[in-house]
A and B are shown apart, each in its own frame.
Chain A
Amino acid sequence: MKEFKYYSPKSLNEIFKIFEAEKGETCLIAGGTDVMLEINSKKVNPDVVINLKSIDEINYIKEDNEFIRIGAGTTFTKLSSDAVILNSARALAQACSKVGSTQIRNLGTIGGNIVTGSACGDSVSALVALDAILVIQSPKGKREITLTDFYSPGQKSVCDGCYHNTPGIGKDEVLVEVYFKKAEKNEFSAFRKLGKRKALAKSILTVGMSIEFDDDKKVKNARISLGAVGKHPYRVTSAENIIDGKKLSDETIEDCLNEISNIVIANIGSRASCPFKKESVKGVAREVFASIIEQSSL
């Protein structure tokens, strides 16, 4: 590990003062499960390391009438067992319960999963299906951006330090919150991950879904996300369109699965893993549909 200066601020305001005072390369650390490895192996060589674990104001799960709001410093352990998340955002609870191992979930945070920008961030895939919005704060104030836009290739790259994989966040900015709409009465979400084993497995692929039904059990609103089959998790709108306005019959689901498979081929067709993933994604997505149907029939 390179030598660096260390700060453990108690508030966001304090962080912004540190940003202003320190001119060298700055790195934020929360759970540390990714960035510690990079600092330790000298892939990331910060001059200044700022601890986010000491900042209580970014550690919360709140709900109001319309939204569920999660502080960026909230751990996976908390999210996978929180009653609000389990009831209104099942996909996120399921995704967080599958991250790493017990020890990693006790440390790792949702904000870290987002800014690290891994192709296979489990919570990110679920959050894309929940149409999440990020709140990013700087000394100039707050700005909001959808998670999908945050990862879009069009975003100007302004990153450094531990944000090196993520194009969407600036040097003087901190991700403080992620929020999404609460599930409607007939809206259900689910997430499944395919890994080489149960624990400590990097996702081979992930599928997240959120589906709202009308009173006739027809799909009113669908969002489907895929992870680990591209640079970042993304929505598959052409597959969503196939089930839109229809009942989830076996036939409709199969049509949708075939379209999902086609999208995987289009995105990673040149990769060695494509022949495997284009088939296995159908099985994983079929399980997600089964979980949604089960929830909707209770």
Chain B
Amino acid sequence: MEKVKISFKLNGENVTVETPPNKRLLDLLREDFELTSVKEGCGEGECGACTVILNNEAVTSCTVLAPQVDNCEVVTVEGLGKDGELDKLQEKFIEEGAVQCGYCTPGMLLSAKALLEKNPHPSRDEIKTAIEGNLCRCTGYKKIVDAIEASIEE
């Protein structure tokens, strides 16, 4: 099969990769870039475990075809922290006990991050809408919303 050469910004760095076109963004990130924070849950865009930030918006990477991100910007959890320091959102998730089994956490963090980048002072309802596409099988939603709320800059 004819491979497709794509270039995009991944966690702040310009990358170029040749990929068979019949690959999901989810698989490209996990297999080609070893960014295993991106989880596969349902594979149908329903659970949000595979959420990444694509051009400043949260999207499910299982419903994006890998070559579609040519010339785009993609952020995964690996791109959240800087210089070995965790992002404030990540710190608050730890402090508030918002992580149970951890499987939904990367998606939750990125949905929250995309919201805060657009709207630095969201209401509790706006937070809930931002993570409405992220399922937590431990059902620890309250602490997740608390953690996002706690990370809002004063």
With contacts A39-B22, A40-B43 known, what are 16 further pairs, Cβ within 8 A? A1-B24, A8-B67, A8-B70, A31-B63, A33-B63, A49-B65, A51-B68, A100-B133, A101-B132, A102-B129, A103-B48, A103-B58, A103-B60, A106-B58, A107-B64, A199-B133
Q: Which of A47-89 contact B (CB under 8 A)?
A: 49, 51, 53-54, 77
Q: Across chains A and B, which 6 residue pairs bring their CB atoms closest together, nearest first?
A: A101-B133, A6-B21, A199-B132, A1-B22, A106-B57, A3-B1
Question: Chain B interface (Cβ within 8 Å of chain A)?
Answer: 1-2, 4, 20-24, 43-46, 48, 51, 54, 57-60, 62-65, 67-68, 70, 111, 129-134
B111 and A36: CB pair below 8 A?
A: no
A49 and B21: CB pair below 8 A?
A: yes
Instruction: Return the contact of A100 from the options B45, B51, B62, B65 (Cβ within 8 A).
Output: B45
B119 to chain A, nearest CB (A): 11
How many residue pairs at the A-B interface have CB separations less than 8 Å?
92
A58 to chain B, nearest CB (A): 15
Instruction: Return the contact of A36 from the options B2, B48, B65 (Cβ within 8 A).
Output: B65
A29 and B68: CB pair below 8 A?
A: yes
Instruction: Return the contact of B21 from the options A4, A33, A103 (Cβ within 8 A).
Output: A4
- A200 located at the interface, meaning its Cβ lies under 8 Å from any Cβ of chain B in the complex: yes
B23 and A1: CB pair below 8 A?
A: yes
Q: Which of A98-134 contact B (CB under 8 A)?
A: 100-104, 106-107
A2 and B57: CB pair below 8 A?
A: no
A36 in contact with B62 given A2-B22, A103-B45 (CB within 8 Å): yes
Q: How many chain A residues touch the partner (CB < 8 A)? A: 30
A102 and B111: CB pair below 8 A?
A: yes
- A32 located at the interface, meaning its Cβ lies under 8 Å from any Cβ of chain B in the complex: yes
- A37 located at the interface, meaning its Cβ lies under 8 Å from any Cβ of chain B in the complex: yes
- CB-CB under 8 A from A32, the residues of chain B are 63-65, 68
A36 and B24: CB pair below 8 A?
A: yes
A103 and B44: CB pair below 8 A?
A: no
- A171 located at the interface, meaning its Cβ lies under 8 Å from any Cβ of chain B in the complex: no
- CB-CB under 8 A from A101, the residues of chain B are 48, 132-134
Sample 19 A-B pairs with CB under 8 A, ordered by A number.
A1-B23, A4-B21, A6-B2, A32-B63, A32-B65, A36-B63, A37-B43, A49-B21, A53-B68, A100-B45, A101-B48, A101-B132, A102-B111, A102-B130, A102-B131, A103-B133, A104-B60, A106-B57, A106-B58
- A43 located at the interface, meaning its Cβ lies under 8 Å from any Cβ of chain B in the complex: no
- CB-CB under 8 A from A54, the residues of chain B are 70
- A200 closest partner in B (C-beta): B46
A29 to B69 Cα, complex, angstroms: 13
